[in-house]
C-alpha cells in the first residue's frame, strides 16, 4: 500500500524529496522513511528524542503537516544546504566596495539554496555625482543587472536556480525606471520586483497631491502622486510587475517593531524581513483535517488542528537549531529572533469539502475563523516552549505585547506571553506551496483557489516514450470516489471563474491572523479594464492586505494555461498557444537558397584591440525575412575557437525555424565574472551579451522582432508548425507545457519546478 494519493505525488517525492546516494541509489525506500528521517533529525534537539520522534512522525504522517521542501529534502542528511527558505540580505552600502561585498554574500546564500530579497533604495540615483572620481552614478538598476547576471550562474540547491526579490521605495528618484524595467522581457528575469508603497504616498494618491522623489535629503523631481501610481498600475497591467508592498503597514504590525525596521521581503513576498533576516516555512494541510467531507456534518477537526499546530511549532523551532546558514550574520539573526512561518495549504479544497464557495463572504468568514484558531494555537505553543526552553533572546515584554498582532489575541494568549515570554518572535506566514501541494496529493496550493479540477500530464517513460495520465485536484478526486460520476456541486469554483474581488476578500480574511504576510496571486481576466484593474490594488490596501500581486494574461505575460469548463463533467485543462520564447521545431531544417540577403555589423568591445564583425543572413519565408545563419569574425586569435563554435551553434538553431528569439535572450544574459563594459550609456555584462544585442538589433530592423525586448511578429513558417506543436511556454526543468501562475511564481504542474526558490 502506498501513502501517496496520486501518481504525481510519488513522482514529485522521488524527484525532489527522496534521499538518495550520490549515484542515485535510494536511501528512503518509502514515504514513511522520509517522515522518519525528518522526525528523527528534529527530535535530536529534544531532551527525550525517542518520545518526540514518534510525535513528530505522527504529525508528518499522511501529509498532515508539510514542512517546506528544503526541510523535507535536507533534514537528516549530510548535505551542506540551509533548511531555511527565506532571506533578506544586508543593507546595501552606497559605495562600490560595499555593493560588491553584498553581491558576494548573495552568491554564497543562493549557492546553499536560499531565495533572497534586497532593497535597492539605498543606492544613489542615476546621474548623481560620485565624489572623488569626477563621474556620475549609474544608478541602482545598473547594479540590479549585475545581480541578475550573477544569479543565472548560481545553481541553487535542489536543482533550482536562485530567485530574488528587488524592492525600491516609492520616493526614490529612479523609481520610474524601476517600474518600467520589466518592459524589456530579457531584463532582470531572475528578479521579482515590488514597489515599497508608504501610507503617505497612498494618501497623496487619493488627494491627487504632488509627490517628491528624494535621495539623501535632496529633492530630484516632483510629480503628481496619482501619475506615479498609474505608472505602477500600467506596468503591472501590461507585464505583471512590479508588485506592491504596503511597507508602513508591515512595520506598524510587526511584533518586533521595537528592535527592527523592514524594507524588503523574500522572493514571493510572504516574509517581510530585516537585514540578514531569515525564516523557515511549513504548512498545515487543511484538506486532510476535514471530517465527513461533502456531507451535512462536514467540518474541520478542531481538536486535531490544535494538536497538529502545537507539534508543528515545536518541530519548526527545532529547525532553527538544526539548520546551517550561508552567512554568520544570518545565523545570528535567526537565533536572536527564532522567526518561523507556519501557514496552511489545501484551504480551497477544505472549503469545497465543507460546502463553501471560495471567495464568498461565508468562505472568507470561515477562513478567518480557521486562521485565528491556528494563530491562537501557535502563540500558546510558543509561549509554552518559552516556559520550557526560554524566550527568543531579543524578547522585550513591554514592546512585544504592544504590537498590533499580539493586542488582537485573546486575553489568555497575552497572559501566557506576559508570564513566560514567547519562543518565536513571529509564527505565521502563508507561503507558496506549489511543489509540496503536489507531493501531498495535488491539494490546492496555499490559500489559492483550485487552479483547475483536472488536467492531462505527459509522463516520460524509461524507453523514451510518453504516456498520459490525468492529474485530479484532491477534493475533486475525493468527490469522485464517494459520488461517482455525479456532477460537481455548484459551489465548486476554480481560478478561471473567480472575480478579482473574491481573491482580495480571501487574502484580507487570512491576513488578519497572519503576523508575517501572504504569498498569493490575484488572477484577473485578460479583458479587465485598466480602471477596474487599478481598483483591485486599492481594495487590497483598504481591506488591510500587506501587499498585492496580480496576473493578467496578455501578449507580454502570455496565457499560461486555461481551463475549459463544462458542468456536465469534470473540466480538463486545454493548452493554448502563446507568444513565448520557446523553440518550435520544424520537421526538417530550412533549405539554403543560392543567395541570401544580409547585413554585417561592427562590434567594438572596450579594451579589445580588434573589433568583432557579425554577418547575419536572412531567408524569406512567406514574404517575410527571418534569420538563417550568422558568421562571427575577428582578427584576435584568442577569439577564434569560441567564435567558430558560436557561429555554428547559432546558425544551426536559426535553420530549424520557428521562434528563435530565445537566442538573443540567452546571449544577453551571459555574465562575465571579470566585469562587463559600458557601451553607449548602457551596462553590457559580457562580450557575448553584446553579440546578443547586435543580433537583436538586426531582428528588429528586419521586422522579425517588434522592438528591443519584445516578442515575435507572426512567422508564417512557425504558424504551420503550430498545428502539430502549439507554441507556448515550456517548463525549463522537464520541457512540458504545464506552467501556471500560482502565488506569484510560474510553477510547473508536471514536475513541480518553480522559478522561486522556496
DSSP collapsed to 3 states, 106-163: HHHHHHCCCEEEEEHHHCCCCCCEECCCCEECCCHHHHHHHHHHHHHHCEECCCEECC
Torsions phi, psi of 459, nearest 5?
-115, 125
> Which triple of cell numbers denotes residue 76?
537528516
- The helix/strand/coil state of 72 is helix
> Which triple of cell numbers denotes residue 272?
517581510
- The helix/strand/coil state of 745 is strand
Torsions phi, psi of 16, nearest 5?
-115, -30
Helix (H) or strand (E) holding 460: strand 454-460
| Pairing of the two strands 264-265 and 272-273 | antiparallel
> Which triple of cell numbers denotes residue 454?
483536472
Return d(Cα 191, Cα 189) in angstroms, integer.
Answer: 5
Which residues participate in catalysis according to the annotation?
Answer: 266, 268, 270
Return d(Cα 201, Cα 207) in angstroms, integer.
Answer: 10
Return d(Cα 640, Cα 632) in angstroms, integer.
Answer: 9
Calculate the CA 485 to chain-centre distance: 37
Return d(Cα 173, Cα 124) in angstroms, integer.
Answer: 9
Q: Which residues contact 661 (CB under 8 A, 6 or more apart)?
A: 581, 699, 704, 705, 711, 712
| Alpha-carbon distance values, 658 to 614, 728, 752 (Å) | 22, 12, 27
Return d(Cα 430, Cα 343) in angstroms, integer.
Answer: 4
Q: Which residues contact 659 (CB under 8 A, 6 or more apart)?
A: 580, 581, 582, 583, 584, 712, 715, 718, 727
Return d(Cα 497, Cα 525) in angstroms, integer.
Answer: 9
Return d(Cα 86, Cα 343) in angstroms, integer.
Answer: 14
List b or e across 346-378, with b for residues whose CB sees 16 or more CB atoms inside 10 angstroms.
bbbbbbbbbebbbbbeebbebbbebbebbbbbb
- The helix/strand/coil state of 423 is coil
> Which triple of cell numbers denotes residue 550?
496580480
Residue matched to cell numbers 507561503: 431
> Which triple of cell numbers denotes residue 43?
527530535
Return d(Cα 469, Cα 222) in angstroms, integer.
Answer: 58
- Among 349, 570, 572, which Cα is nearest to 443's? 349
Calculate the CA 145 to chain-centre distance: 19
Asked whether the beta carbons of 43 and 56 are under 8 A apart, the reply is yes
Q: Which residues contact 719 (CB under 8 A, 6 or more apart)?
A: none
Asked whether the beta carbons of 373 and 305 are under 8 A apart, the reply is yes
DSSP for 514-581?
-SS-B---EE--TT--HHHHHHHHHHHHHTT-SEE-EE---TTT----EEE--TTS--EEE------S
Kindly report whether the peptide bond that precedes residue 242 is cis, defined as omega within 30 degrees of 0.
yes
| Alpha-carbon distance values, 736 to 207, 301, 496, 728, 749 (Å) | 49, 38, 21, 10, 9
DSSP annotation of 74 reads H
Asked whether the beta carbons of 270 and 519 are under 8 A apart, the reply is yes
Return d(Cα 96, Cα 99) in angstroms, integer.
Answer: 5
Residue matched to cell numbers 555589423: 601
- The helix/strand/coil state of 488 is coil
| Pairing of the two strands 562-564 and 572-574 | antiparallel
Torsions phi, psi of 677, nearest 5?
-155, 155
Amino acid at each position: 500500500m502506498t501513502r501517496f494519493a496520486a501518481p504525481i505525488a510519488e513522482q514529485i517525492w522521488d524527484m525532489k524529496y527522496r534521499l538518495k546516494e550520490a549515484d542515485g541509489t535510494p536511501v528512503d525506500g518509502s514515504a514513511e522513511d522520509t517522515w522518519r528521517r525528518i522526525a528523527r533529525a528534529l527530535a535530536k534537539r529534544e531532551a527525550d528524542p525517542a518520545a518526540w520522534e514518534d510525535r513528530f512522525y505522527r504529525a508528518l504522517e499522511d501529509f498532515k503537516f508539510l514542512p517546506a521542501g528544503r526541510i523535507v529534502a535536507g533534514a537528516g542528511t549530510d548535505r551542506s544546504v540551509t533548511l531555511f527558505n527565506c532571506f533578506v540580505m544586508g543593507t546595501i552600502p552606497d559605495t562600490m566596495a560595499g555593493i560588491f561585498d553584498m553581491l558576494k554574500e548573495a552568491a554564497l546564500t543562493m549557492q546553499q539554496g536560499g531565495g533572497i530579497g534586497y532593497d535597492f533604495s539605498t543606492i544613489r540615483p542615476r546621474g548623481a555625482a560620485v565624489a572623488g572620481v569626477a563621474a556620475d552614478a549609474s544608478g541602482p538598476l545598473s547594479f540590479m543587472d549585475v545581480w541578475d547576471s550573477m544569479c543565472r550562474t548560481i545553481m541553487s540547491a535542489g536543482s533550482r536556480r536562485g530567485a530574488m526579490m528587488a524592492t525600491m521605495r516609492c520616493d526614490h528618484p529612479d523609481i520610474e525606471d524601476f517600474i518600467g524595467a520589466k518592459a524589456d522581457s530579457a531584463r532582470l528575469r531572475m528578479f521579482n520586483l515590488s514597489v515599497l508603497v508608504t501610507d503617505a504616498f497612498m494618501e497623496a494618491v487619493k488627494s491627487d497631491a504632488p509627490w517628491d522623489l528624494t535621495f539623501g535629503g535632496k529633492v530630484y523631481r516632483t510629480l503628481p502622486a496619482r501619475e506615479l501610481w498609474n505608472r505602477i498600475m500600467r506596468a503591472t497591467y501590461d507585464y505583471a510587475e512590479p508588485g506592491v508592498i504596503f511597507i508602513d503597514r508591515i512595520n506598524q504590525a510587526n511584533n518586533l517593531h521595537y528592535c527592527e525596521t523592514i524594507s524588503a521581503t523574500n522572493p514571493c513576498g510572504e516574509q517581510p524581513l530585516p537585514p540578514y533576516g531569515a525564516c523557515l516555512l511549513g504548512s498545515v494541510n487543511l484538506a486532510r483535517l476535514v471530517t465527513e467531507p461533502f456531507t451535512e456534518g462536514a467540518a474541520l477537526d478542531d481538536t486535531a488542528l490544535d494538536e497538529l499546530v502545537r507539534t508543528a511549532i515545536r518541530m519548526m523551532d527545532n529547525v532553527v537549531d538544526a539548520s546551517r546558514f550561508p552567512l554568520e550574520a544570518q545565523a545570528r539573526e535567526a537565533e536572536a529572533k527564532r522567526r518561523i512561518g507556519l501557514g496552511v495549504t489545501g484551504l480551497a479544497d477544505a472549503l469545497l469539502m465543507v460546502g463553501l464557495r471560495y471567495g464568498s463572504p461565508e468562505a472568507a468568514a470561515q477562513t478567518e475563523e480557521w486562521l485565528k484558531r491556528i494563530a491562537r494555537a501557535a502563540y500558546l505553543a510558543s509561549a509554552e516552549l518559552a516556559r520550557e526552553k526560554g524566550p527568543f533572546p531579543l524578547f522585550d515584554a513591554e514592546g512585544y505585547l504592544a504590537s498590533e498582532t499580539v493586542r488582537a489575541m485573546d486575553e489568555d494568549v497575552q497572559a501566557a506571553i506576559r508570564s513566560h515570554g514567547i519562543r518565536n518572535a513571529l509564527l505565521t506566514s502563508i507561503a507558496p506551496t506549489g511543489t509540496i501541494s503536489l507531493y501531498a496529493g495535488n491539494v490546492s496550493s496555499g490559500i489559492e483557489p483550485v487552479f483547475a479540477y483536472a488536467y492531462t500530464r505527459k509522463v516520460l517513460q524509461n524507453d523514451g516514450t510518453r504516456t498520459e495520465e490525468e492529474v485530479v485536484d484532491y477534493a475533486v478526486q475525493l468527490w469522485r470516489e464517494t459520488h461517482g460520476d455525479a456532477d460537481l456541486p455548484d459551489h465548486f469554483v476554480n481560478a478561471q471563474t473567480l472575480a478579482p474581488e473574491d481573491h482580495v476578500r480571501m487574502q484580507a480574511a487570512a491576513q488578519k491572523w497572519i503576523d508575517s504576510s501572504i504569498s498569493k496571486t490575484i488572477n484577473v481576466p485578460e479583458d479587465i479594464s485598466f480602471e477596474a484593474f487599478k481598483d483591485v490594488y486599492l481594495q487590497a490596501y483598504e481591506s488591510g492586505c500587506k501587499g498585492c500581486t496580480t496576473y493578467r494574461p496578455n501578449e507580454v505575460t502570455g496565457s499560461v494555461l486555461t481551463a475549459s469548463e463544462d458542468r456536465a463533467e469534470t473540466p480538463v485543462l486545454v493548452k493554448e498557444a502563446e507568444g513565448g520564447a520557446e523553440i518550435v521545431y520544424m520537421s526538417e531544417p530550412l533549405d539554403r537558397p543560392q543567395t541570401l540577403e544580409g547585413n554585417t555589423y561592427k562590434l567594438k568591445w572596450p579594451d579589445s584591440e580588434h573589433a568583432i564583425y557579425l554577418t547575419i543572413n536572412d531567408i524569406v519565408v512567406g514574404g517575410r525575412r527571418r534569420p538563417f545563419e550568422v558568421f562571427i569574425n575577428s582578427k584576435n586569435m584568442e577569439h577564434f575557437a569560441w567564435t567558430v563554435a558560436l557561429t555554428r551553434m547559432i546558425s544551426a538553431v536559426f535553420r530549424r525555424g520557428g521562434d528563435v528569439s530565445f537566442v538573443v535572450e540567452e546571449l544577453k544574459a551571459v555574465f562575465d565574472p571579470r566585469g562587463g563594459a559600458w557601451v553607449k550609456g548602457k551596462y553590457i555584462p559580457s562580450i557575448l551579451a553584446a553579440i546578443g544585442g547586435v543580433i537583436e538589433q538586426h531582428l528588429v530592423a528586419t521586422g522579425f522582432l517588434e522592438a528591443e525586448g519584445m516578442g515575435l511578429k507572426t512567422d508564417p513558417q512557425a504558424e504551420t508548425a503550430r498545428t502539430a506543436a502549439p507554441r507556448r511556454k515550456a517548463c525549463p526543468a522537464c520541457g512540458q507545457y504545464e506552467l501556471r501562475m500560482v502565488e506569484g511564481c510560474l510553477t510547473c504542474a508536471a514536475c513541480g519546478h518553480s522559478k522561486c526558490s522556496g
